[in-house]
């Protein structure tokens, strides 16, 4: 782990923050590059991406505040941790999606098509962001005796995020980064198959992420809030995964080809 990348006149520049910024920019750039293929003006996607990034950051931090409300209210100094943290991914997603829907409707863009072109970029950005989590020590796992367990040694990280030191832990950050990369490559391959329809790539991402996040949560060891026997993220996954299945069924029955599929059909004709 390497929580501080470098210092500028004694001010620490955190590796997590740099990688988080890189993740957002990488995901946005990928969406912009894919926009022409989907028949959408790149500048619209750029503006949308900026709005979504702001919404995602605010939503992620808001959910972290809700999940760890007692910790933040019992010690106001912990609010500094909130400012440094990226927050809870699901919180960012749940706020970013309504903001994105508002934007695309305001500008007359095809809602599900925009979601499709953005979904692989979200997965790729999330993979990079989880590497930042590993560097910072946050989102750490439960104790483990597996040969690939990781042991954190940075007192600075322990003070910032509470990661236990000198104890082998499940590398849950790596688990999720690898899962997101696999989802990324799957989405790119899956959307090239026949019978593509608007919304399929986006809701497939929501389904796959919900399943993998639910499973990885069993290996997490950090405090992140509970809803009954489930962690907050598992509870959200229980809601979003069935919703994704329902949306995939509903959208498939509409049978409207995506712009990319329609373009391929025109070329074949």
Per-residue pLDDT of the chain (269 residues; tens, 9 = 90+): 788 888 888 788 889 889 988 999 999 999 999 998 898 999 999 999 999 989 988 888 888 777 776 766 676 666 566 566 667 777 888 898 899 999 999 999 999 999 999 999 999 999 999 999 999 999 999 999 999 999 999 998 898 888 999 999 999 999 999 999 999 999 999 988 766 789 999 999 999 999 999 999 999 998 877 788 999 899 999 999 999 999 999 999 886 555 555 544 434 33
Comparing C-alpha atoms, which of 175, 174, 169 is closest to residue 151? 169
If DSSP codes are grouped into helix, strand and coil, which group holds residue 226?
A: strand
Q: CA-to-CA distance for 175 and 169, rounded, in angstroms?
A: 12
CA distance 138 to 154: 12
Cα distance between residue 92 and residue 57, in whole Å: 6
CB 119 within 8 A of CB 205: yes
d(CA 113, CA 98): 15
Q: Token pair 């505040």 is at which residue? A: 65
């Amino acid at each position: 782990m390497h929580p501080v990348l470098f210092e500028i006149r004694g001010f620490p520049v955190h590796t997590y923050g740099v990688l988080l910024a890189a993740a957002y920019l990488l995901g946005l750039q990928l969406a912009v590059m894919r926009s022409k293929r989907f028949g959408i003006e790149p500048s619209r996607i750029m503006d949308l991406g900026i709005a979504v990034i702001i919404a995602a950051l605010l939503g992620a931090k808001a959910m972290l505040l809700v999940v760890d409300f007692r910790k933040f209210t019992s010690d106001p100094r912990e609010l500094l941790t909130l400012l440094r943290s990226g927050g809870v991914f699901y919180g960012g997603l749940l706020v970013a999606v309504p903001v994105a829907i508002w934007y695309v409707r305001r500008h007359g863009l095809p809602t599900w098509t925009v979601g499709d072109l953005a979904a692989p970029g979200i997965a790729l950005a999330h993979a990079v962001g989880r590497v930042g989590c590993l560097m910072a020590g946050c989102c750490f796992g439960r104790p483990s005796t597996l040969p690939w367990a990781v042991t954190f040694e940075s007192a600075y990280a322990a003070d910032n995020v509470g990661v236990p030191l000198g104890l082998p832990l499940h590398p849950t950050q790596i688990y999720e980064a690898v899962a997101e990369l696999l989802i990324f490559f799957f989405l790119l391959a899956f959307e090239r198959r026949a019978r593509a329809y608007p919304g399929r790539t986006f809701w497939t991402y929501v389904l796959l992420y919900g399943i993998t996040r639910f499973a990885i949560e069993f290996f997490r060891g950090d405090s992140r809030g509970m809803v009954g026997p489930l962690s907050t993220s598992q509870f959200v996954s229980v809601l979003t995964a069935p919703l994704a299945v329902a949306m995939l069924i509903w959208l498939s029955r509409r049978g409207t080809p995506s712009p990319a599929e329609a373009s391929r059909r025109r070329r074949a004709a």
